[in-house]
Each structure stands twice: as structure tokens, then as C-alpha cells.
Structure 1
Amino acid sequence: MWEAGETVAAQGVAVYRKRPGILYFTNRRLAWVPDGGLAPTVSVKHDEIRVQYVSQEGAASTTMRVAEFKPDVKHTFQFTSNTAIQEREVIKGLISRIIHDRLLRASGGGASSANGTPGPSGGSGASPGASSVMSDASTPGTPKAPLQARMGGPGPAGLRRGVNGAGGVDVEMQTRRALLAQNRELSVLHTELVVGRHISENEFWETRKSLLRNKAAIDQQQKGQSSAWLDLKPQTGESNDVKYVMTPQVIHSVCQQYPSIKRAYDQFVPDKLSEAEFWKRYFQSRFFHRSRSGRGANEPDDEIFDKALEEDEEETRSAPKRIKLDHINRLVDLSTTEEDHLESYLTPDGTMNAGKTKESKEAMPLIRRFNRYAQRVLNSTIGPKRPFTGPESLDMSGVERAIVMEDLQEQKESSKIILNIQDTRRYFESQGGDVKSSKIPDGVDPEDILKQFYRDYTSHEVVLNKPFAIPENTFDTLMRNVKSNRAKLLPPKDGSQLLPPHLYQEALSCHAAGNEILRHFWASTSMDKAAKHLRMIESLKKIRDENVKSLMIQASSLGTDCLDSMKMMLKPMLNGIQKALKHADSRPKPPVRKLA
């Protein structure tokens, strides 16, 4: 049924034209085999797949439609198993990668192979009381994907490596498409401006470089190791047979955590042992049960995994290689002051020597295993090591900045310019202000001024026990203040409450498009961007005369309140467009050259 060298990456139970069968995705094609059939009835090679469609979430059936480049050739598959959604999503992701790789090849970029797609693996066993492995996708008799594919082979990470390389343009285009797919508002704005030919593609993304950088940084982050392999709990079937579920993530984590297991896998699978038999013996070995309730001593001997256990213990028992400390800062390098502590009358602390006592010897392998795992996590976080350059470690400027304390240094007197004032009287008079303007005029007695002030103060009578009328304008002012305060407490009636949803979204899109064009307008006022400036003027006029006018007509047909709400929403943008066009009219026009 399968060609030489063909491997299955994923499969699922699917109905095609009301006939049950199995849909396979291999490294060469998409094939559907009916139940009981010996050959694929539907076979679509990777290069023949044009596009795929899937049913929405929550639909009555889980379907997938694959269209070929041939006219009117489409295949619809309906997944019917209990894990129909999971099976469809796996195949959907593989087809998406094939289509994406073809686009990259067409544009000159690199592409990753479908062989590097992680696929489920494992075996099955049903002997009562025996440990076994239950696979979630593979079935006996089908070719299995290579181990490198299930253990994180080449995939999207290969694309990320090209961010700063030759494939940087392709990766940037991929990042743009991802942003548009994730942000609906950005996608609508892109359609309004770029598809509407107001601005070009590069001009649209020129003001959103921060979004591209953040998206690229998120895509470059490596996913941490899954903790699913730590929670391998047995499942008991109806016949009391114990089963373990092995997923690609669990296999990848186990082989990454224990290199001896990976070496044994590469050596014995599939030439000497099947994959199911290999993992079945793994779950029955001392290697698996050594840290689980002390069952490791009671397990039977196994030549493969006993040897892997010895190799793993030897790796954890051996002391780690001593690293070079040439690039370490001398303030944190404890070995630089080792010679200062040779002559000492104190007894050495034996607890600081790892592996000297019985308790520490037993704990050393576990501690080194934890350290090895922590080192792997740290290396994946900080990235590749930088090459060491000798002169950099001998630079003492950083050490001097750390050990020199400014408070202990001798204070040097700063040079000062002495203020030499010859006539101090004139200086203080200028600081005191105009004294002459506060003098009492000639011929006026100060006592007469005080007496007049006293008579005015005593003759003024304040009667507080008599009623007086409040002017009407005071009541009007108070009423306006009360209404204003009450309006502030009530929720505002904006366009989302008065306008229909579709009209409100159109108004938001128009407002966002107008503001975007205004930004490009004011950024193109220099003489070297005169052509773009003229394009922005035409786009602003088009927004004002076509888009805004159409929205006003639709709002007026719904009533006065809707029209007023639409005017209120678009007023800031219209004011900005009016100021921009006024600035463009007042700007001097470039001289027109006459042809001789």
C-alpha cells in the first residue's frame, strides 16, 4: 500500500463519500483508504494541494475539505472517532505547513520538510497485569515516522533562524500575516488602507515596527520542556492490564532527559525491537521504577535498560568538568583570593566538601541530575555562548568602578567665580523693586487716610436676620450645574448604543483609516516626500467626500439621534482632515517647469 521510503506522520478515522475509512498524511501525499481496502482510493500529493477548509468550532460534524490545483477537484472528509477534533487539527497543521513551505520556495526562502513533523508513537500490549504502552494514533502495520521527527525535528524553528539572515524578508512577511490573523481591527484597517490603495504595504508597516519586533521576539522564544513525562500514571483496563499513554511530547522529554535511553532507542529500534516492545520493556525495567516507591530492586533484569541505567548513573556520578574562569568578573571569582586563606588556624568545614560523607555520596547523583537539568534550562534561555576574547577579561575599568567609593576620595575644590559688586546700594535697590511708586503723594497726611478708612469700616452695616431675594440667574446657574453633574454620573450614550452594530463598526473603521492617513500626511510634509504628500491629500479628500458622506446618509435614514451620534464620532477626524487640507492649501506650490 505504501511506496518505498514513505512514512506516516498522522492519521484519523474519516468518512469519504459516505464510506468509512482512514485518512493518512505521509511524507509524500494525503491518502484515504477505505475499511478493508488494500490501496488508497484518494491520493493527493503535497504539491497538488491548493487550499484546505475546515468546519467551525461547535459545528455538528468535524469536516475537512481539500482542494487541488485541478479545476473543480475537491475532497471532503468527515472525522468520526472520539478524538475527531484532535485528529483533524494534527492533519490540518501538517497541510498548513506544506502550503506555507511551498509559498516560501516560490519566494526564494528556505522550507522545512514535512518529515520533521512530530507524530504520535508508541506500542500496545494487553497482557493482564503487565505494563504496556498505549499509542494514541499509530496502528500496527503502518510505517512509523523517524525518531527525529517525533523528537523535535526541523520545523518552524528553522524559519526563525532566518530572521537576521537571507530569509529575513520571508520571515517578516510571515510575521505580518500572523499579526493580521490575530488582530481583527488591524486586519480591517489593513484592508481599508492597503487594499483600498491609499498607502502601500511598506508604508502601512513602517509605523508598526514595534509590533513586528514583539511578534518576532515571541516567535523566537523556545518552548520549555513539557512536564508531562513526570506524570506518567498507569491506567488500568477492564481486564486489569496496566497501560501507559505515550505521546510525542512524553517521548521527546524522556529521551532529552535521559541520553542513555535515546542511545538505546537508536540502537535497537526498529531493527531489533519494535517501538511498542521497546517502551513496554522500559516501563518494566529498573530504570523506570528506580525513583518510584523503591520498586526498582524488585524488577526483573533487562540487558538493555540495565546498561542504560549504569550509563546514566555513571554520568551523574562523575564530577562535572571544571569551567574556565577567565571571563568571570574578579569580584565574584572566589578562586582569586584563595591564596589569602592558606595560613589558617581553623579546622576545615567537612560539610562543604561534597561527596566526603555517606549522606552526601548518596545525594550527589540526584543533585548532579538536578544541576544538569538546570544547566540545560539556563542554556536554552541565554542562547549560544559568545566567543571569549582575552583582552576583555583583563579590563580593570569595571572592577575599579565597583571598588572605588566616592565618599572616601579626597574632595577637590571646584573653581568658582567670585561675585564682585562695587556699588551694593544700587544692587539691593534693584532687588527691592520700585520703591518710589509706593510713596504717599505730597500734601497728604497719613493720619487722614487711616481716619477715612475707619469711618468707612464702621459705617458699613451687615444685616443677617432679614430675608433677601435670590436673582433668577443664580437659580439658572445652579440648575445647569445639577444637570451637568447628573449627566456625568449617568453612562454616556455613545455610538455603540445608538447605532446598529454593522454601522458602528464601519464608523470605527473609517475613523481609524482617517487617523492613519493623517499620520502619514503630517509625516510627509518634507520636500523629498512631495509625491507621497499629494497621495495623502487625495486620500483625505476621498475619506471626507465618499466614506464619511456614505456613513452620514446611512445614519440619517435611521433618525436624528443616530445622525447626531455619527457626527459626534467623526467630528475629531473631520476636524483633523480640515486642518490638514487647510495646511496643504496654504503651503507654497512647487514651481512648474515650462518646456522649451
Structure 2
Amino acid sequence: MAPIEIPRGQASYKKREGIITLTQDKTALIWSPLPGTGPPVISLSVSNITNLQQTPKTNPKVVLRVVEKPKAPGADPAAYPFQFTHATEARNEADAIKDLLSQIIAELRGDDPSLPKPAKSGPNGAGASAAMAMASAVNSKHLPFRWFEDDMLKADVELQQSLMKKDKALAHIYNDAKLSKPDSLSDASFNSQFWATRISLLRAYAIELNQKKGSYNVLSTIKPRTENGELKLNINHEQVQLIFQQHPLVKRIYNENVPKLTESEFWSRFFLSRLSKKLRGERITDNDNTDPLFDKYLEADNTMAVPAKITATSVPPIINIEGNEENQGGFRGGNLKDVEMRPRANIPIIKTLNSLSEKIMANVAPTDVDPSAASYSKDGIADALSKQLALQDLRGDAEAQLIRLSVKDTSTFFTGNQPSLTDQEAADARLYATQVPSDVLFEVQADMDTLDSDGRGGIDLHRSIGVDPDSDDEGNSLDSKSGPKPQHVGSRAALRFAQNQILESMKSARSHLTTHGSHTNASEERPMSLPTDIAHRATLTCATTAEFLKQFWTVFNSSDNSPEKQQELAYLADSLVRSKQRIEALAEEAEKRRQEIMEKRKREIREYYQKTGRKAKWVPVGGGRDAVWAVFEGVVGGLERAVAVWEMVKGGRV
């Protein structure tokens, strides 16, 4: 057999013309600048190639993108785009090089147990398509282990755009935040900050996109039907391939009788035969049509030595259960099986469905195998499995792998509302600092033990703090001096104040979901009686502001004090100031709309009075400035606190 000629082609790399080909031993892909006789500038080992991408035939530009696996752990994969520049043979040259690379990659990965084995080449060239399928599997092999990392997800712009097309609410938040960002903040920094808090969404969406439909019981989905006395059967190429994979017997019958029979005649007779009912797991009756072609295969075996991913992996002897039967010299029977467990010739559904399920599951790759790691040691036992099965009881406790946390003390940033200490309080603080806690506790315990025996009859704790529980006074205090009376814990005034505060919170939360006031028109049931467009803008503004707050505190609480982080923190603080300005503008617009609605209702009342002579009842108009500030009450508090902390840091008061 003559050796395969190594293809070569004219291709440019980084706008520099050259020649791309493979070495004579087919171990490396090389590119040399024109005329192509010098040493190669780029040399990529075929074993390190992880992905091959080529522009579709509809694209006039012919580009072959070769991705090489990272040279160091944690590094990004290197991509080499080669544009083929031949005037007439560019597409053919690219196809030839890609096909040869795919075939070599398939051969290199042929021993990998986690990948399906290619079928042997037949006279019709079926092996070539199997090799291409293998290369595609190799190209996507490292996907779950590399492409789902945080850095790769944050850099995948196409994935982010696709997610925002699917999630319109997320797209609105992104666009609003991008329009509101400071001009000094670059788009790259904004994207990095925005998606850093949404890595879980990107990862879940990437996994969803890479999930593919698995094998299924294809015979049960094909139902022939009769229309006007003619048999109608809809079957496509994919379903035929699945039938051949799941039922090798059908494939054997097909190869023996086609083209003696036409394709349509073969499948029409098959789906009306008893063999089809048996393979579907249905009961065969005497009234079923007989077909001499298929009936002679009713007792034939429907199994073949089909290569499977799970069976290709050698099982270590220590857990090989089937090996016990081999070592014992055959099956050892016991008592006779129950009557319900005995096989029946006329009810093959359980056996058929179980056999089909085994075939489908046999070609599912196991989820506990890491293709990037060495599968087995020299003894034939999986390295990870041998570690799990090793006796661990005599070993010492493993040293805990702790993670060092760098925590910044931020307690001083949230004491701005507390009054400064007076001279007396400062003196008391210094006095308390010099006392020994154990001595103080001993003296207090001694006083508590002698309360009953010191002649004073104990201590009235309520009276000691100025509370008289028997008094009906609103202040509930013994202090008769003028001025506001302090609220003591447990007093009636404190309980009443707490009750009122809880009720006010419930009213505020309820007003966010329904209208306030006495108007009960169903069309007016909007949050805080705000117009629909204002309420929608308020929702987006709230989400955008919360995003800026999250980014600000994430950067602020990080342990990185580099100048770049300080500059980024200043940008985010400026964004917080602008966020409050947007809330103020939204409140003013809501108030303007409220005034317009009030004027409209006043005109309606006057017109009604002129027509009927009766005064219409005035319905209070909700919404407006107060409603917007009520909605943003918590967010505004967070903005003010964050801006105050930033001012303290910028002023050097921290």
C-alpha cells in the first residue's frame, strides 16, 4: 500500500505568507515563511493539539484555527489561526490538512478508555467518518476540565452575549450599568467586575450548552400509519444509525437483504413484522402478520461484540465481581427460582427492555474517570482506586490544609453615628482597662451570694434602672425630670415602641406590592402606586445600584492594596454617587407624573360637577417622590454608608 502523501498549503500567519504542512513522521504541524525551504517558525506537536476549527464553506475566507493545550498548569491555551491564501485550492488544502490531523489525533487517542472506539474501515469508507467523530470527541475532551474555570468563563465574550440574549433581565441590568459607569472605567474592567459576581450563571449556562442528547429507545418512537390504504413511515438517517447501534441483528439483516430489497420496502416490511414487535418488547400474538424474511430471525441473538466505553476499561481484580464466577469454575446454582423469575417465551418485554437498557448504558462514559490523569498503574489497578481501597486505619491523621484568610478590620467604618467619648467616659474607660476581669467577677459573685444575709432584703432591679412596672405612666419611668425619658428594656414604652416599629415595617413592605390609600381600582394595583414604566425603571435602577454596591465592597474588603485597586475603588465610589443622582432624578420624574395625574383628575371632577351638579369623591393619588424614596430607602442607606466610608479612607481618617 502506497504511503499517504503529506499535504501542504499556502497559508498566512499574522499577515505573513508561508507554507504549512506536517513533518515526515507526522508528529508535528509546521509553518515556515515563504519560500518554505527554511527552518519552521512554528512547530506544534500533534499530541498537544486539543482543538481544530475551520470556517464553513459559505465563508470566502478559509481559516484553520489550531488550539494547543497550555504549556503550564493554569495558563491559557494557545491558538494559531492560519489563513489559506491559494487562489483556487485554498479550501481543498485546508480540508486535506485538517482531515490528516484529525486522523492522527484519533490514532493517538485510540487507547483512551473514556472515548468510543472507531469502527473498522469498510469498503464504503465508513472508517473515515468514525475517525472524524473520534477527532471531534478529542477536540472536546478537555472541555469539562478547562473551559469551565473562572478565568476562561470571564474571558468568553460569546458565551456572555449568548446568556444575555436568553436572559433579558440580565441584559437590561448589564446595559444600564454600562451606561452608568464612569468614563474613566474601561469596558474590559467593567466586564470583569460585572461577570466576576456571576460566574455561577456562566458556568451553568456553559454546561447547559455542552449537554447533548444521549441514546434512546428509537424503535418505540417510530410509529407507521396508514393513510388512504397506503403505509406511511417517517424515518431519517439518524434513526437508522441508532437502530443499527442498538439492534445489531437488524443491521445484519439489512446487510444481507439490501439492495435485493429497496430501502423503503425493507423498512416497511420490518416495522410490520413480528421481529419489530419483539425488539420493541411487545407481546406477539397469533393474529400478527407473518413475514418469512424476518420471522426466521425471531430466535436469533440480538447481541454482538460492540465496543463500549464502560467495558473498554479493565476492571481491577480486587473489585471484579464477575471474576469470582470465572475463578469458581462456572455458575453455582441453588434452589429453583421462583415461578415469576423464570423466563417465559411469550413475554419477552422485560428481557428485551433490560437488554436494550444495557446496550444504551454501555456506551455512556463513566463520570468518575478523569481523562487528563493517568488511568492505571503498572499493576493494572487504577491509581485513584488503589488509594481509596488502601487500609487507612493505621495511618495518622492527615494535616489539615487550611486556607489563610486576609481579613481587614472594618468595624471602625461603621461607628460614624456614635458620639465621641466625654472626659468622664474616657476616664472610666481607662479605669476599666486597668482592672483584672477575674477579680471583678469574684467580687460581683461574692456580693450576689450575700444579698439575702446582708439585711437589705435583696435588690429591686426594676427600681434600680428607674422602671416601675405597676405604673400606668406612658414613660414608665421613675425619673420625673423634664426632657425625653429613656426607654428601658422590658418597659411598656419600649414594648409599645417595638410594636409600632414592626407594624410600620409591615405596612412599608405591603405598600411595595400594592397601592396605598383608599383607592382599590384593579388597574391601579402597582408597587407604591407608581406608573408601570416608572416602576420598571425603579427595578432596573435598584438592581444596577446593588451591583455597584456589591462591586465596591468586594474591592474594598479585598486584601489587595495595589494602586490599581485603589484607582478602581475610586471609580466605583464615583459610580455610587451617580447612582444616588439617578435615584433623585427618578424621584423628580415620578413626582412630575403624579402632579399630571392629579391635574387630570381635578379636571375630571370639575367636568363631572358641571354636568351633574354633584361633587365627585376625591381619591388620593399615590406614587410620586415619596413613593420612590420609600422604595429605595434601604438602598440609599447603603449608598450613603459606602460613600461615607470612602470619604473617610480618602481623607486619611482611617
Give the TM-score, by structure 2 length: 0.47
Structure 1 residue corresponding to 2:545, chosen from 514, 533, 544:
514
In structure 2, the partner of 1:201 is 191
Deviations along 1:162-210, one digit per CA (max 9) or x if unpaired, are 7469999699444323321232221111111235555522332122111
Matched, 1:554 2:538: no
Give the Cα separation in 1 of the matches to 2:264 and 2:314.
Answer: 49
Give the Cα separation in 1 of the matches to 2:457 and 2:282.
Answer: 102
Deviations along 1:506-538, one digit per CA (max 9) or x if unpaired, are 111111111212222233343242332232233
Q: Is the 8 A contact 1:518 1:540 kept in 2?
A: yes
Matches within 5 A, 1:321-400: 327-328=315-316, 330=318, 333=321, 335=323, 348-349=332-333, 359=343, 367=351, 370-371=354-355, 373-377=357-361, 379-380=363-364, 382=366, 387-391=375-379, 393=381, 398-400=388-390
Give the Cα separation in 2 of the matches to 1:324 and 1:381.
Answer: 10
The alignment-based identity, stated in percent, is: 16
Deviations along 1:20-79, one digit per CA (max 9) or x if unpaired, are xxxxxxxxxxxxxxxxxxxxxxxxxxxxxxxxxxxxxxxxxxxxxxxxxxxxxxxxxxxx
Deviations along 1:256-299, one digit per CA (max 9) or x if unpaired, are 42245457768988x77654334223324453244544369975
Change (3 A) 1:99 1:276: same
Change (3 A) 1:318 1:209: closer
Deviation at 1:567, TM superposition (A): 0.6
Deviation at 1:586, TM superposition (A): 2.5
SS at match of 1:389: coil
Change (3 A) 1:272 1:166: farther
In structure 2, the partner of 1:577 is 639
Change (3 A) 1:108 1:486: same
Change (3 A) 1:585 1:179: same
Change (3 A) 1:501 1:333: same
In structure 1, the partner of 2:246 is 257
Change (3 A) 1:567 1:453: closer
SS at match of 1:543: helix
Q: Is the 8 A contact 2:274 2:289 kept in 1?
A: yes
Q: Is the 8 A contact 2:248 2:303 kept in 1?
A: no
Letter of the 1:531 counterpart? Q
Give the Cα separation in 1 of the matches to 2:647 and 2:537.
Answer: 29
In structure 1, the partner of 2:220 is 230
In structure 2, the partner of 1:177 is 161
Give the Cα separation in 1 of the matches to 2:627 and 2:528.
Answer: 9
Q: Is the 8 A contact 1:285 1:301 kept in 2?
A: yes
Letter of the 1:316 counterpart? T
Give the Cα separation in 2 of the matches to 1:382 and 1:328.
Answer: 15
In structure 1, the partner of 2:510 is 492
Matches within 5 A, 1:233-252: 233-237=223-227, 239-246=228-235, 250-251=239-240
Give the Cα separation in 2 of the matches to 1:162 and 1:255.
Answer: 29
Deviation at 1:542, TM superposition (A): 2.3
Change (3 A) 1:554 1:327: same
Deviations along 1:191-239, one digit per CA (max 9) or x if unpaired, are 11235555522332122111111222223333233456315444343x4
Give the Cα separation in 2 of the matches to 1:385 and 1:176.
Answer: 28
Matched, 1:567 2:556: no
Deviations along 1:342-389, one digit per CA (max 9) or x if unpaired, are 9xxxx9426799xxx995999999748734532532542525785333
Deviations along 1:297-342, one digit per CA (max 9) or x if unpaired, are 9756566x679x48x9345388999969964372664746987x79
Give the Cα separation in 1 of the matches to 2:365 and 2:239.
Answer: 21
In structure 1, the partner of 2:405 is none
Deviation at 1:154, TM superposition (A): 11
SS at match of 2:574: helix
Letter of the 1:579 counterpart? R
Matched, 1:433 2:421: no
Give the Cα separation in 1 of the matches to 2:633 and 2:647.
Answer: 21
Letter of the 1:518 counterpart? L
Matched, 1:533 2:569: yes
Change (3 A) 1:328 1:476: same
SS at match of 2:632: helix
SS at match of 2:511: coil
Give the Cα separation in 2 of the matches to 1:374 and 1:172.
Answer: 39
Q: Is the 8 A contact 1:172 1:212 kept in 2?
A: no
Deviation at 1:493, TM superposition (A): 0.7
Give the Cα separation in 1 of the matches to 2:549 and 2:195.
Answer: 15
Deviation at 1:252, TM superposition (A): 5.3
In structure 2, the partner of 1:426 is none
Matched, 1:316 2:352: no
**Greater alpha carbon shift after TM alignment, 177-186 vs 189-198:** 189-198
Give the Cα separation in 1 of the matches to 2:140 and 2:58.
Answer: 13
SS at match of 1:393: coil
Give the Cα separation in 2 of the matches to 1:326 and 1:155.
Answer: 23
Q: Is the 8 A contact 2:590 2:628 kept in 1?
A: yes
Q: Is the 8 A contact 2:248 2:302 kept in 1?
A: no
Matched, 1:276 2:264: yes
Change (3 A) 1:211 1:385: closer
Give the Cα separation in 1 of the matches to 2:364 and 2:243.
Answer: 17
Matches within 5 A, 1:125-136: none
In structure 2, the partner of 1:422 is none
Matched, 1:544 2:553: no
What runs of 5+ residues in structure 2 fail to find an aligned partner?
Answer: 1-54, 68-80, 82-125, 396-437, 459-469, 477-491, 514-526, 595-621
Letter of the 2:578 counterpart? K
Give the Cα separation in 2 of the matches to 1:274 and 1:572.
Answer: 75
Give the Cα separation in 2 of the matches to 1:517 and 1:181.
Answer: 22
Letter of the 1:553 counterpart? E
Change (3 A) 1:109 1:473: farther
Change (3 A) 1:193 1:230: same
**Aligned pairs, how many?**
402
